[in-house]
Amino acid sequence: MSTSPTLSAYLDELRSVIDTALRQALPEGAAPTLVIDAMQHGLMSGGKRLRPCLALMTAETVAPLVGLTTPRARLMALPSACAVEMIHCYSLVHDDLPAMDNDTLRRGKPTTHVVFGDGLAILAGDGLLTEAFGLLAASPSPVAPAGSPEAPADRRLRVISVLATAAGAVGMVGGQAIDLRAAGRVPSHPSEPMGERELREMHARKTGALIRAAAVSGAMITGVDDAVIAAIDYYAQEVGLAFQIIDDVLDVEGSAADLGKTAGKDAASGKPTYPALHGVEQSRRLAVDCVARAKATLDAAGLGGRLTELADWSLTRTK
């Protein structure tokens, strides 16, 4: 009798699929080698691949509702998953710049601007962002194996809209702007104290928006109905917040070796975090509450499985 792989093994399998696809995502040979090298540095330096894994996982979870097999749902969602990760990696390349978070370590390796300089790092981020949308618009997709099922153009257009909103001023860009102001790095807008509401809004935009978009895109690309998409969206909103809260906790408790990035940097720079506002133990309790709401939403929608496991993992991870 066969048994399902553990969540860890399943995520490793998804990461392998995603990494293989991402190696085909950039226009090598058609673009200058130096910019492709910088883009590859930001894109292929490892990491959890949480967002693209979530996109594939969600597609596979809802597949039976629309008569898709798990393999077909995975292949259909693969371009969306790759686009999500390219957008995420662009944001990391830019966030690490001296004008932003000024970090020199990412995923255990020197950040893109350290290796290639600020100017090329900016261009690499710009390239990853724009290529992500080109990837979703392309037919057939350069990241999907030959003969893969392709989502209709109207679904891909909806996903493009969702990702653009999550990546833009309403989402990540807006969240980073709030973060810069809170750190006192916007001369035209003096910093103001942040309470629970302001901190949650910042994280909802900066981190949560793309996590929600990843899950929603995985569901949306399969053609599942809007009620299921809404349930997935709320689930991802709560898991995304839990993920960010635990990220803040790990910045306090973790080591650079475990995290793959500079530990304790948030506190050193005076950035607003959940532990700074609530303390570590209360922050963990808030994350537990988020996960409980996420799992209740899945139960009400008749979903669960790997998505429930992922929600629980968000609380126990160490990096």
State pLDDT tens for residues 263-318: 555 555 567 899 999 999 999 999 999 999 999 999 999 999 999 999 999 999 98
- Please report which residue ranges of the chain form alpha helices under DSSP H: 7-22, 33-43, 50-62, 70-95, 112-116, 118-137, 153-167, 172-182, 196-203, 209-220, 226-253, 256-259, 265-268, 274-278, 280-300, 306-316
How far is it, in rounded angstroms, from Cα 207 to Cα 24? 26
Confidence band, pLDDT 50/70/90 cuts, at residue 108:
confident
pLDDT score at 66: 97
**Phi-psi region for residue 108, left (φ > 0), alpha (ψ -120 to 50) or beta?**
left
- Please report which residue ranges of 221-270 form alpha helices under DSSP H: 226-253, 256-259, 265-268
Nearest to 64 by CA among 224, 297, 294: 224
What would the two tokens of residue 305 be? 């499985």
Average pLDDT, whole number, for the chain?
93
Tell whether the model's pLDDT for residue 204 goes beyond 60: yes
- Which domains, ranges and CATH numbers included, belong to the chain? 7-316 (1.10.600.10)
pLDDT score at 193: 84
Reduced to 3 states (helix: H, G, I; strand: E, B; else coil), residue 192 is coil
**Phi-psi region for residue 74, left (φ > 0), alpha (ψ -120 to 50) or beta?**
alpha
Q: Is the distance from CB of 198 to CB of 252 less than 8 angstroms?
A: no
pLDDT score at 153: 96
Place of tokens 């261009």: 123
Tell whether the model's pLDDT for residue 93 goes beyond 60: yes
Confidence band, pLDDT 50/70/90 cuts, at residue 262:
low
Nearest to 308 by CA among 294, 318, 290: 294
How far is it, in rounded angstroms, from Cα 156 to Cα 137? 7
Q: State the Cα torsion 180-132-311-299 to the nearest 10°.
A: 120
